[in-house]
Amino acid sequence: MRPTRSGRWSKTWSQRLYIGGRPVMIGLGAYPIVTLAEARAKCIENRRAVEAGRDPRGDGVPSFERAAESVIALHARQWKPGSRSEQQWRASLKTYVLPHLGTKRVDRIVVGDILAVLADPWTTRPETARRLAQRISAILRWAMGAGFRTDDPTAAAVAALPRHSDKPTHHRALHHSDVAAALEKIRESKASAAAKLGLEFLTLTAARSGEVRRADWCEFDIDDEVWTIPPERTKTNTAQRVPLSSRTLAVLAQARQVFASDGLVFPSPTTGRALTNEAFPKLMRELAIDGTPHGMRSAFRSWCSDTGVPRDLAEMCLGHAVKGVEGAYQRSDMIDRRRPLMEAWAQHLQSSQAVGLG
């Protein structure tokens, strides 16, 4: 009840809710114009809105969390099947962003709010902070497009933070002369056969981790000694033919003998599904090998440079798209030239001595 100017008392319905961690009183209307049943219905509707991450006072303006869901759904149409992009988006937002901005209306987010999110990871995990800024900006730009706000303050927040060095960071990589010893260490370890064989196969083929972990027997032509990676698993979205050296074929024969089944070539020993993204890095860390699975590709590339392999041939082996005029005229995948190259790389890894291509 509230006193009126005439000295009488007016009766109104109100509801106390917690929105964004703060207590809020929301008016539901005056009695008897709004009945008890109608007030109760509004209470339930408001509580449902808060549970769903919406502000019942917002006139349809979504919270940052709801806007994030819309952006993820929009991006998901373009992400490759099996991609970890959605998982990475959700994990980073949940860890760093939603505790600060989750329940806040997108039209009320200002530079200071974004600074509060980025300040700590900007100094401790700069690459993570850059990605957070990109994702926050994408969500706020979506809100602009939807008519919920007129600007994106992310750039202003980033400009207020200390400047990072522009020097890029690269995956740690062994020198190509040390890779053979690393592979021997991997073979002698007590790790699962899938992890050991898969990591050696990755090194021999210079393929990407996801391409190897989800490799299926139906992709292999053993008679022709070729592995064809389907376009949905390559970075260029085109099928990639990979010539198989004699040692690579031996690794496949071991995998066939150990697992004796169709489907995945290197299945997880615990789930039977594809090995996790962490399987190969974890094995290298446990064996104190100072490198990463992706760094094995770098070792192959540096070996190519040191042995005089033509640039376009080396790039083709790595599954890179050759850009510019050179790429426009390059229609062959040069598989016949890549066969002796990959055989030489395999011999190098077995002998620890660089093998020329003749």
178-202 per-position pLDDT tens digit: 999 999 999 999 999 999 999 999 9
The whole-number pLDDT of residue 354 equals: 40
Whether 246 and 327 share a structural domain: yes
122 vs 54, residue with greater confidence? 122
The whole-number pLDDT of residue 212 equals: 95
Beta bridge partners of 243: 226
Whether 197 and 95 share a structural domain: no
290-331 per-position pLDDT tens digit: 889 999 999 999 999 999 999 989 999 998 865 543 444 445
The whole-number pLDDT of residue 345 equals: 95
The structure tokens listed for 234 are 């390559």
Pairwise CA distance, residues 190 & 22, whole Å: 54
Whole-Å CA distances, 162 to 92, 156, 170, 243, 313: 21, 12, 22, 48, 42
Question: Which of 258, 276, 260, 280 shows the shortest CA–CA distance to 268?
Answer: 276
Pairing assessment for the beta strands 12-19 and 22-30 based on DSSP bridges: antiparallel
Contacts 24+ apart (CB under 8 A), 36-40: 39/13
Query: Can you tell me whether residue 100 is helix, strand or coil?
Result: helix
The whole-number pLDDT of residue 229 equals: 94
The whole-number pLDDT of residue 262 equals: 84
- Position 167 confidence tier, pLDDT thresholds 50, 70, 90: low
Q: Please state the domain count of the chain.
A: 3
Whether 248 and 135 share a structural domain: no
For residues 324 and 315, the answer to whether their CB atoms sit within 8 Å is no
Whether 298 and 219 share a structural domain: yes
The whole-number pLDDT of residue 165 equals: 58
Whether 344 is covered by a domain: the verdict is: yes
Whether 45 and 70 share a structural domain: no
342 vs 322, residue with greater confidence? 342
Whether 346 and 234 share a structural domain: yes
Domain boundary among 101, 132, 159: 159
The whole-number pLDDT of residue 8 equals: 60
Beta bridge partners of 220: 227
The whole-number pLDDT of residue 59 equals: 62
Whether 15 and 109 share a structural domain: no
The whole-number pLDDT of residue 326 equals: 44
The whole-number pLDDT of residue 9 equals: 62
242-262 per-position pLDDT tens digit: 999 999 999 999 999 998 778
Q: Which domain holds residue 39?
A: 2-51
The whole-number pLDDT of residue 94 equals: 93
Question: In the chain, what percentage of residues exceed pLDDT 90?
Answer: 52
Phi then psi for residue 4, to 5 deg, are: -100, 175
- Position 347 confidence tier, pLDDT thresholds 50, 70, 90: very high
For residues 323 and 232, the answer to whether their CB atoms sit within 8 Å is no
Whether 181 and 281 share a structural domain: yes
Question: Which of 238, 244, 242 shows the shortest CA–CA distance to 330?
Answer: 238
pTM over 0.75: no
* AA letter at 303: W
Whether 69 and 45 share a structural domain: no
Average pLDDT of span 276-292? 91
The whole-number pLDDT of residue 267 equals: 94
Whether 71 and 197 share a structural domain: no
Whether 216 and 345 share a structural domain: yes
52-97 per-position pLDDT tens digit: 776 676 667 889 999 999 999 888 888 777 678 888 999 999 999 9
Q: Would the pLDDT of 211 be above 70?
A: yes
Please provide the average confidence, as pLDDT, over all residues in the chain.
Answer: 85
